[in-house]
Structure 1
């Protein structure tokens, strides 16, 4: 369980991720749907899947808020404990894969612009996204089976009931976690390679507009923030847990920090979608006008 001092911090991060991430994800979802209905591009397909991943996560985040508010004591129905594990971890692994797919798509767009216009790329992109979802679901099922005993709520009424904390076969769980930490490095390497080369190529092209170059840099920085701040500590806890043969005491903090990926993904959405940028400008203008009216009123 968390200490009483940690509870406000965890709740603050959850609430911040929810309030910032949900409006951006809904807005990005609407923009993706409209774009796909008009003139879809491979990047729109991947972006839609990343948005869906974030929406799955954000929809279930209030359950994590309730758990954190109760100091990690599980006071909710038993079935939510299993959904808590599946719907919380699924977006973590899927987001890594879709961010890597976006970086690869941007690299192909800049490096092979002629091949990028091939109409079959839409079909290939859909297949790649389906493969990502299938692979992530299989991975979560493997983790679930290994941790099934531990995911059950403790029935001993003399102890606080918790979810996904105690494991009878902890060593098996630690081995699987180590494997997922290794897999985490693959999309990270793909993102670094693709964005470094994409930015390098764009900077050498004098006819490319400065704003497009800045968006490429923004996407790279946004992705780097997601990997380093949100996912790297979480996977580092896997490696440390395997070394010490136990759950690190700071592991719960990595869970909480990983929720911020829903906030940083907004940077990617903004850099990819023109309609998203336009919507941001409209919303910002509306907030400024509202602030001015309130200030004048008082």
Structure 2
């Protein structure tokens, strides 16, 4: 299907994403739970769901590490390839929608501050989260079924003989029949899960910045930090999801999976290590939790250094 970059590159990115993303996502999850327990607001619920999405992805990321370490050859039981595809797609789709919901909340917070503080808004937030998860799960299942429709069976050009793939790879070598079904689905997914959310995020953050710059009572430092967070979130959203979703558009036009689509997908993987930056900028509890962890490691390092110095003496 494609000429992939070196598996070493994939493995390095997977490891970096896991090492950065997993501990920070755990911290974000705990911080959101603590804040929701004390004083729940809609944006914290969306951030909690984003953290859950990242943790689902990061928990199964070692499977992708194993695949990359094996030179992109699938040496694990093949049923795991099927489940891995589902788990891999689920957080990619859900992250874009929850980031969009967070951008909308940031806009509502500054445009309608009185309504934003209404406790009734929590009632609407939970069904929105449930609807997002249902939509994402249904989409991932549909892509899964389309991708593996008649898997291992060639089309009429191969006289309906069993397709032998050596070496065995996961999610590749589609038949013409599979591509006919899969490419329109991928284009629809790109529209629903990227292009429309991107327009929504841009609209929300542009208005957010416009209103913020007109408020004289907010300190300049805080205002600049909020503007930087908004622009940073848009940059993360675009850099993480644009290449892979553009590959869906190109694939639909060319009637084939682009050779660089796998490379583009790796940028979506990096999103799990970018999201903690958003947690850090938005959540005071997240910043406090990171400070506590850093203080602990600093004291632990000082203790080990002291013990090492005593042993030398």
CA pair 247-29 structure 1, distance change in 2 beyond 3 A: same
1:124 is matched with 124
How far 1:290 moved relative to its partner? 5.5
How far 1:209 moved relative to its partner? 3.1
Q: Does 1:179 align with 2:192?
A: no
8 Å CA contact 2:96–2:197 kept in 1: the answer is yes
Q: Does 1:163 align with 2:173?
A: no
The match for 1:271 among 254, 272, 281 is 281
Q: Deviations along 1:219-243, whole A, 9 cap, x unmatched?
A: 3233223222211011111111112
Q: Deviations along 1:189-212, whole A, 9 cap, x unmatched?
A: 111111111122122212123453
CA pair 153-222 structure 1, distance change in 2 beyond 3 A: farther
2:205 is matched with 195
2:256 is matched with 246
TM-score by length of 2: 0.87
8 Å CA contact 2:42–2:105 kept in 1: the answer is yes
CA pair 293-203 structure 1, distance change in 2 beyond 3 A: farther
Which stretch of the first structure deviates more once superposed, 154-163 or 169-178? Answer: 154-163
RMSD: 2.4
1:84 is matched with 84
CA pair 153-33 structure 1, distance change in 2 beyond 3 A: farther
CA pair 164-126 structure 1, distance change in 2 beyond 3 A: same
Listed as ranges, the gaps of 5+ residues in structure 2 are 155-161
Answer with 1 or 2: which has the greater Rg: 2
Q: Which has the higher contact order (CA 8 A, sep 6+)?
A: 2
Distance in 1 (CA, whole Å) between partners of 2:171 and 2:152 is 7
Which stretch of the first structure deviates more once superposed, 170-179 or 51-60? Answer: 170-179
Q: Does 1:259 align with 2:254?
A: no
Distance in 2 (CA, whole Å) between partners of 1:288 and 1:138 is 45
Distance in 2 (CA, whole Å) between partners of 1:287 and 1:211 is 29
Count of residue pairs the alignment pairs up? 298
Distance in 2 (CA, whole Å) between partners of 1:75 and 1:126 is 41
Distance in 1 (CA, whole Å) between partners of 2:153 and 2:22 is 29
2:233 is matched with 223
Distance in 1 (CA, whole Å) between partners of 2:208 and 2:264 is 31
1:236 is matched with 246
Distance in 1 (CA, whole Å) between partners of 2:5 and 2:45 is 42
Write the mapping of 1:1-298 to structure 2, written as runs, cut at 5 A. 6-149=6-149, 159-168=166-175, 169-183=178-192, 184-288=194-298
Distance in 2 (CA, whole Å) between partners of 1:179 and 1:278 is 41
How far 1:283 moved relative to its partner? 2.9
Distance in 2 (CA, whole Å) between partners of 1:151 and 1:94 is 26
Distance in 2 (CA, whole Å) between partners of 1:152 and 1:222 is 43
TM-score by length of 1: 0.91
CA pair 170-2 structure 1, distance change in 2 beyond 3 A: closer
CA pair 123-12 structure 1, distance change in 2 beyond 3 A: same
How far 1:79 moved relative to its partner? 2.2
